[in-house]
């Protein structure tokens, strides 16, 4: 069984990828460029892939290919229709980030709500010594207790974030879908959440319906100047509108762990904001605690072993 991992470096240096419990030959590449895909998977029975694109042409040129184990939850980099036509099983990794993403989300919320980065930078610049007293108050500090947390996305991660918010004494509103008002009493209409949230956090997939679900019009409707947190997907927010919203005071801060282009080029609109005290950009690492990535890697091999035994595990196509 020939197994090829196209982008093994995405698992990080501290993760142990155990050998599958089946007769096999594993070749793992750190990175694979688009023009290298066809050659590298030509004789593969199983391909493991995180972000490398597997389009219909690449799949067609791999006659032995029987299984694609996606080292991620999202599978938009794989042509699922081409796989269905060939009978190729596609699996993904699920529910490994139930602690790490909510923790990262609240790390970003705390950092902005209490101006942690701004105060750190001020101390580094000598502001404390110049203050002439035991403390200084250059940047706002706000408690979370008693504030309103708006959560967009009610999956496992959104629910975990909501539970943490409640534990911190926050009033939690689960947002209904944009444009919908028929989802029942457990959901607050999207427009109401925009208007009343003190913190707005995104935990939904990127689909045609959620693309740019927050843009200039939505920022203008945010009456309480909330914090905006996106640890979900680049493209949920119109990134070009974030800077103007910060400048206009429509939001009091923003933190992103994702971008439409990763890594973002120097001219990307979020890169223009990285020196602001009210903005934080982290490099898509909300998922990547050492504990979570090891669970992730173990589940990835579990999927490969289940396929070989003829079982269904996390199959998406």
Active site residues: 233, 262, 284
Point out which residues pair with 229 in neighbouring strands: 201, 255
Two structure tokens written together for 199: 């913190």
Q: Are 244 and 218 in contact (CB under 8 A)?
A: no
Q: What is the side-by-side order of every strand in the sheet holding 253-256?
A: 171-174, 148-152, 199-202, 227-230, 253-256, 279-281
DSSP for 154-192, written as a single string: -SHHHHHHHHHHHHTT-EEEEBPPTT---S-TTSB-HHH
Q: Is the four-CA dihedral 309, 310, 315, 317 of positive or negative sign?
A: positive
Point out which residues pair with 53 in neighbouring strands: none
Rounded to whole angstroms, what are the CA distances from 169 to 129, 149, 178?
35, 10, 26
Q: Are 224 and 250 in contact (CB under 8 A)?
A: no
d(CA 139, CA 149): 22
């Amino acid at each position: 069984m020939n197994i090829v991992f196209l982008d093994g470096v995405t698992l990080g240096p501290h993760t142990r990828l155990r050998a599958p419990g089946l007769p096999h030959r594993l070749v793992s590449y750190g990175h694979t460029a688009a023009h290298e895909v066809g050659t590298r998977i030509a004789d593969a029975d199983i391909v493991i892939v995180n972000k490398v694109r597997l389009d219909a042409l690449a799949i067609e040129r791999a006659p032995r290919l029987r299984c694609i184990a996606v080292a991620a939850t999202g599978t938009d980099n794989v042509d699922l229709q081409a796989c269905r036509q060939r009978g190729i099983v596609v699996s993904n990794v699920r529910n490994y980030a139930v602690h790490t993403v909510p923790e990262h989300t609240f790390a970003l919320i705390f950092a902005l709500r209490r101006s942690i980065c701004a105060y750190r930078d001020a101390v580094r610049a000598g502001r404390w010594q110049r203050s002439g007293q035991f403390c200084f108050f250059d940047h706002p500090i706000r408690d979370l207790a008693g504030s309103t947390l708006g959560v967009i996305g009610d999956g496992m991660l959104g629910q975990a974030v909501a539970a943490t918010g409640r534990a911190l004494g926050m009033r939690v509103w689960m947002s209904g879908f944009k444009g919908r008002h028929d989802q029942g009493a457990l959901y607050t209409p999207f427009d109401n959440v925009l208007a009343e949230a003190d913190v707005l956090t995104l935990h939904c997939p990127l689909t045609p319906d959620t693309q740019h679900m927050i843009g200039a019009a939505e920022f203008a409707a945010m009456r309480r100047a909330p914090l905006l947190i996106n640890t979900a997907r680049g493209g949920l927010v119109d990134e070009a509108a974030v800077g103007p919203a910060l400048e206009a005071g429509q939001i009091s801060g923003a933190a992103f762990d994702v971008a439409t282009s990763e890594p973002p080029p120097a001219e990307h609109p979020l890169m223009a904001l990285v020196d602001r005290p009210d903005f934080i950009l982290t490099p898509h690492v909300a998922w990547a605690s050492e504990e979570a990535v090891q669970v992730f890697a173990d589940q990835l091999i579990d999927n490969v072993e289940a396929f070989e035994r003829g079982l269904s595990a996390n199959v998406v196509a």
